[in-house]
Amino acid sequence: MGCDKILGVACIAAASILLALVAFDVPYFKSIYFLRIDLSGAAASTTSQATPYIDLGVLGYCTDLMNGMGVQCSDPKIGYSLGEASKYINGSLPEILTKSANVAATALTKALVLHIVALVISLGAFVFALLALLGVPLIAECCADCFAGFAGATGFVVFIFDLAFFFLIRKRVNEVSDVNSAVTGNAIWLTLVAMILLFVTPIMFLVGRCCACAGKVGKVSFYQRLLSAMRISPQDIANVDEITSLSLSANGEHVVYCVAPSFRAKGTHKTSALWLAQVGTANSARQITSGVSNDYAPSFDPLTGDIFFLSDRHKHGGKAQVYRVSSKTYGGEAFPVTQPENIRGVTRYAISPDGRWLAYASADEPEDKDASKKDSASITRSWMKGLSNNILESVRTVVCGDQHVGAVTWSPDSAKLLYRLVRSERLEDSYFPISEHVLSFEEDGSFASAHVVTHKQGPKGSSVWPTPDSFFYIGTQDMFDAPSLYDCPSRPDAAPTRLAYGETDDAWNIRSLGSEFAVEVAVGLESVIDVYAGSKKLFTAFETEKEGILSWNSGWDMKKIGDKYILVVARSSGVTGEPENVWTGSTSAEGKIKLDTKLSSHHQWMESRELPQSAPFLWSAVDGTSLQGIMISPPGEKVDKLPTVVVPHGGPYSRDTLGLRVGTSYSFLLASNDFLVLCPNYRGSQGRGTAFSQAASGGMGTTDYSDCESMLDAAIERGFAHPTNVAIAGYSQGGFLSAWGITRPNARWKTASIGAAPTDWGSMAITSDLPDLEAKLGGNPPWTSLPPTFLTGSPIRFVKNVAVPVQLIHGEKDARVPLSQAVTFMRGLVREVTDRSVVDASELIIYPREDHAFVERAHIEDRMTRVVAHLKKYLL
């Protein structure tokens, strides 16, 4: 889009609006007139003490003689006679007035048609100006200039005529002794302003072109600031909210979910509010908790419809306890279910299908509650609390031992509890074997526990238990396998059976539908939801199309009510420019759900923004492998050899889709700042099966990076990307690919923004909070006697190849990718790169207090601002 034309277009638009108001003043726009004749001293009789008058316009006049008839106007026409006004009064107009002013008006008002002529010429200029704005060649701008000049000249002639004509009439009117006065109206001055705007329009087009040229050498012009106010900004990202934790009621009539600020001010605690919507009723979502506390993980009591949730409302920033809101109020006071005074918090909970019992996981309360011991390590146990008849019964410990309780799942008859045991709550222990057990509740009140299965790799999320004989879960056999759906008998020492997925697609989430269950599957860029009855797939209930759904943090839920399936989902589309909101739809058996009702109206700030455009991008790797990604283009821009930034996602087991979720990814922000953004789903990503995801195992800097380059090559070949104005920018695993790319010999990149990047896989395995994952990515850990293959894919080993300035961004307290990774790279750059200009222009930015995922609003705004400024410096 020709953004340098905005000032000229604005001038013509404003002039056209003013000329339209004048051309259609009285008798149409009664508050706009050229001349008002005061008749307070005339012979006309009135019934009011107010002043009677006649207002003159281009196509007629209006009068209010205060005789009870109100405002009366002549029929609009070119040329009019004041004598016709006598029909509105009791008597006649002053004789001298009808002989002087009326004669002049009758003869000369026909010439006022020039106002309409000026308007038509101005509108022609506006049409050509719009064509210029939309990128039509320079001829459109020249025509706009010419038409604006003609309209301005016509306006000048009309203005001079208006002055002469109406000052003459004013003089004649003021000579009448029994007419008080005649005053010029606002229409004359509106004509003057319109004329001035039309005359300066060519100058504004010239100023726009000059500012555009100046902008290319680093200066920010006025039009750029004006345009930036319409685009996504770092401030927008810093203040964005996120939708999570969707949960449907048992009867399918309501959905509860969380809305929370993505970032917060320094020194403040995390907050989150519960929202409730009536399924099937558009825009019915309303906030039911204050948002002052951190209210999260909501779910409905299947018996009463009450909402249970975790919250720190008893002590902001403290450990969470279970709370409950009555279905009778859905917004009244929440009361605690577990003890708010407990030092140990509740980490998870599950309500039995019959609504009688609450199982939850929490550590034992310390005997000595001295402050120095409050944060000591403790074992998470499983507890059970009765909820029968809405009376909270005594708490019983049902699982204890030397391991932590993970996910818990009730049997369909509420008589058994499936629970997982893990070594500890540390993330690294999730990569050790995890066992599942079934706890049976005996008639005498005792408990009997039996081991069912031990997983080599921990399952993804909770299991579902739709029938007494089997439960189902999403799991893998190897760390980098694509997840599959598994069926496991609920008897002791059972053997799971792999049912589906993981070959060309990836199972991801699972939800209970009573006796059935639903599975979300990542398929390339799309997501589908399949419905199962036991081990049999019944049908595909939902499939995305030019959109994305929230696949983590419980971004969807489904229930089966009778023969109808109801789905609620957090949906967005970067293709159609729809921000994320809660949508719902339903279907009968074997029909696909269409999301036809939008329940919420979050992210309304996006309505005033020009949003980037997402599109799927398909290409082939150098070895012929078919690949997929997302191309995001600036709003309104013709995608023609644009400055381009490749933005690889983190993970590596993740993917970019066609959703529009504004967060810490640079993609939409950079596209809003005139960059073409390429987001490759490189090998190692989600959605293409095990062979694709396994490429990440010991494959750092191989096909993952070549896939990024081949996407850029394809975009250049198709004329979308600029052949040389290219950069790479990423965070976490995307930061690694940025560091790897900039250390390639004869790298093509003009710069790189490297965020929280692993640069030395050996030290990553030693210091990261996920040592086994990092060691597997790098090839092998440094604590074995094997050759150090982790050096092969470590950017630090090739730091001497850096030939352009780079930007490194890191959080001071990053546990996933420790700060030492960035410090190591910067030290190597200073010592190994011989071009001192590259060293001097490179920078390492460290944000205090930040972990891998930033939480402080000021920091995320500054980080995004710096990334955009750095890339603009070297590409625009």
N residues, the chain: 876
pLDDT at 425: 83
Provide the β-strand partners of residue 384. Answer: 359, 396
pLDDT, position 1: 47
How far, in Å, CA of 709 to CA of 704, rounded? 9
Q: 304 by DSSP, 3-state: which?
A: coil
DSSP 354: T
Peptide bond preceding 805 in cis form (omega within 30 of 0): no
| Cα distances (angstroms) measured from residue 476 to each of 181, 473, 517, 664 | 92, 10, 19, 29
Rounded Cα gap, residues 510 and 499, in angstroms: 14
| Euclidean distance between CA atoms 245 and 559, whole angstroms | 15
Q: Which of 213, 228, 243 is the last residue of a domain?
A: 228
Q: Is 804 left (phi over 0), alpha (psi -120 to 50) or beta?
A: beta
Q: Is residue 497 part of a domain?
A: no
Q: How far is Cα 581 from Cα 224, in angstroms, rounded to an integer? A: 30
Q: Residue 129 has what pLDDT? A: 75
Q: What's the pLDDT score for residue 90?
A: 43
- Whether 469 is in a domain gets the answer no
pLDDT, tens digit, 9 for 90 and up, residues 213-227 = 544 444 444 445 555
Single-letter residue type at 781: P
The CA distance from 359 to 362, in Å, is 10
d(CA 78, CA 162): 15
Which residues of the chain, if any, have pLDDT below 70? 1-5, 39-51, 65-69, 82-108, 134-141, 144-145, 166, 170, 172-181, 205-206, 208-229, 367-394
Start-to-end CA distance of the chain, whole Å, equals 16
Question: Model's pTM, two decimal places?
Answer: 0.76
Backbone angles phi, psi at 309, to 5 degrees: -165, 165
Structure tokens at 46: 């009135």
Q: Which of 365, 360, 345, 378 is nearest to 417 (CA)?
A: 360
The pLDDT of residue 172: 66
- The verdict on residue 80 lying in a domain is yes
198, two tokens = 């039309």
Q: Which residue has the tokens 């279910």?
A: 337
Backbone angles phi, psi at 536, to 5 degrees: -105, 125
Per the listing, tokens 């009997």 go with 448
Cα three-residue angle 21-26-29, rounded to 5 degrees: 50
Among 196, 228, 260, identify where a domain stops: 228
Classify residue 239: in a domain, yes or no: no
> Going by C-beta distance under 8 Å and a sequence separation of 6 or more, which residues neighbour residue 694?
478, 480, 481
In 436-446, which positions are buried (b, 16+ CB within 10 angstroms) versus exposed (e)?
bbbbebeeeee
> Do 850 and 812 contact (CB within 8 A), yes or no?
yes
Q: How many domains would you assign to the chain?
A: 2
Residue where a domain stops, chosen among 228, 248, 276: 228
The range of the structural domain enclosing residue 182 comes to: 3-228
DSSP-assigned letter for residue 442: -
State the CATH number of the domain containing residue 829.
3.40.50.1820
Q: Residue 36 sits in a domain of what CATH number?
A: 1.20.140.150
Q: Measured between alpha carbons, how far is residue 463 from residues 43, 225, 350, 471, 830 in Å?
A: 94, 52, 12, 7, 51
Q: What is the pLDDT of residue 96?
A: 46
What three-state secondary structure class fits 786? coil
Query: Would you state the pLDDT for residue 176?
Result: 57
pLDDT digits (tens, 9 = 90+) for 54-104: 788 888 888 876 666 677 888 888 877 766 655 544 444 555 445 544 555
- 378-397: string of b/e by CB count within 10 Å (b at 16+)? bebbbbbbebeeeeeeeeee
Distance of alpha carbon 584 from alpha carbon 588, whole angstroms: 14
The pLDDT value recorded for residue 168 is 72
pLDDT at residue 633, as a whole number: 97
CA angle 20, 24, 28 (to 5 degrees): 140
